[in-house]
Amino acid sequence: MAKLWVVSQALPRGGASPPRLLALVRRAIRLRHYSRRTEEAYVAWIRRFVRFHGMRHPAQLAEQDVARFLTSLAVERGVSASTQNQALSALLFLYHAVLDRPLGVFRGLVRARQAKRLPVVLTREEVAAVLGAMRRTPQLVAALLYGSGLRLLEALQLRVKDIDARRGEIVVRGGKGDRDRVTMLPAVVVGPLERHLDAVQALHQRDLARGTGHVALPAALGRKFPNAATEWRWQWVFPAGREFVDAATKERRRHHVHETVIQRAFRDAVQRAGIAKRATCHSLRHSFATHLLEDGHDIRTVQELLGHRDVSTTMIYTHVLNRGGRRVRSPADRLVEPGVLAGVPHLGGRLRQRLPLPIPPAQSK
């Protein structure tokens, strides 16, 4: 790769080369405690932006160059509005937080079309079929996604201390937007989860006996409490099967289960259950919210359990409730009621009784 990732050509004291652009971006993101997913997305968009402009440094580009890149995403690449907005956020962050040159007005920018999509929601029977087709850890994770309304990464990043079986609660730490919240722990999951934690604790004891058993800690907690990395309460609820060597500390650590493990297991379970919907792990969270509203719970409660900042985000689930989302019964359903029209054909194709067609009266000549 061409060496153009430096902000300045001037060498710092001691003759060391200056930090490259992407390193500065990562540093600025971590200073603001953005999520790992945000860091990966921003770095990827900045890299694509530089390559789009022939490997020129962003400090040499202006607003019209940013607008041209964003327009190409909408016109030539056909990306969605949310994807274009993510690219715009990455570039705004680059110029404001890294280059210290906030961008002005974008002239001639073509916006991607904002499409309104409804979430994919599974019925209760479909959820039961999918969970029944899963086994072991993926099944337990999927049960938490549906029973607690967790996002996939929120479930995989749970630590032992975040589970309170007696109170029936799960504390989600650093969720989307770096916000904490409390959600329910389904009673049906308590028994399997406790047996799972017994096995995880036995694995942790074996790791400690081998001189490992370390886990990554949030922020600067590891420096404040050096022994916390091996404490049971800080361990992942769903640890990975393999250890890895941390590049910075040289410690052998165990990460949590990777998202793709659960995603593949869920996709296979959907196929085995014979469900034609384009369901993903996130569909279980959508189903959690929809089924709570169907059961009569108020939307503010559902908003808090999901961790939505604005209730308008939660309102999307009112459009996917049974009977069209408005509790309105279709007039077609009344055709098959007793005493209305007994001759309406069944959906299966059989006819009970054909009604005679009305015969118009004979016209006098």
pLDDT at 79: 82
Band of the pLDDT at 195, cuts 50, 70, 90? very high
Which is catalytic among the residues 57, 173, 252, 282?
282
Which is catalytic among the residues 214, 285, 286, 291?
285
pLDDT at 197 over 80: yes
> Which tens digit of pLDDT belongs to each residue from 9-58?
333 444 445 568 888 999 998 888 788 888 999 999 999 999 999 888 98
Which is catalytic among the residues 151, 159, 253, 256?
151
pLDDT at 81 over 50: yes
Percent of the chain with pLDDT over 90: 19
pLDDT at 326: 54
d(CA 142, CA 363): 70
Phi, psi of 329 (to 5 degrees): -90, 135
> Which tens digit of pLDDT belongs to each residue from 117-138?
778 888 889 999 999 899 999 9
Whether 308 is a known active-site residue: answer yes
pLDDT at 119: 83
Query: Quick one: how far is CA 57 from the chain centroid?
Result: 33
pLDDT at 108: 66
Q: Is residue 325 within 8 Å of 319, Cβ to Cβ?
A: yes
Cβ neighbours of residue 220 closer than 8 Å, sequence gap 6 or more: none
pLDDT at 6: 44
Whether 95 is a known active-site residue: answer no
Q: Decide: helix, strand or coil at residue 317.
A: helix
> Which tens digit of pLDDT belongs to each residue from 101-114?
888 777 767 676 77
Band of the pLDDT at 332, cuts 50, 70, 90? low
Which is catalytic among the residues 42, 95, 146, 317?
317
The mean pLDDT value for 139-143 works out to 92
The mean pLDDT value for 325-349 works out to 55
Provide the sign of the torsion angle of the four alpha carbons 269, 272, 274, 277, taken in this order: positive
d(CA 163, CA 186): 11
Whether 317 is a known active-site residue: answer yes
Paired strand residues for 164: 169
Percent of the chain with pLDDT over 70: 79
The mean pLDDT value for 202-214 works out to 87
Q: Is residue 167 within 8 Å of 145, Cβ to Cβ?
A: no
Which is catalytic among the residues 56, 176, 196, 255?
176
> Which tens digit of pLDDT belongs to each residue from 264-288?
999 999 999 999 999 999 999 998 8
Band of the pLDDT at 318, cuts 50, 70, 90? confident
Contacts 24+ apart (CB under 8 A), 126-130: 126/273, 126/275, 126/277, 126/279, 127/284, 127/287, 129/273, 129/274, 129/275, 130/266, 130/269, 130/270, 130/273, 130/275, 130/279
Whether 176 is a known active-site residue: answer yes
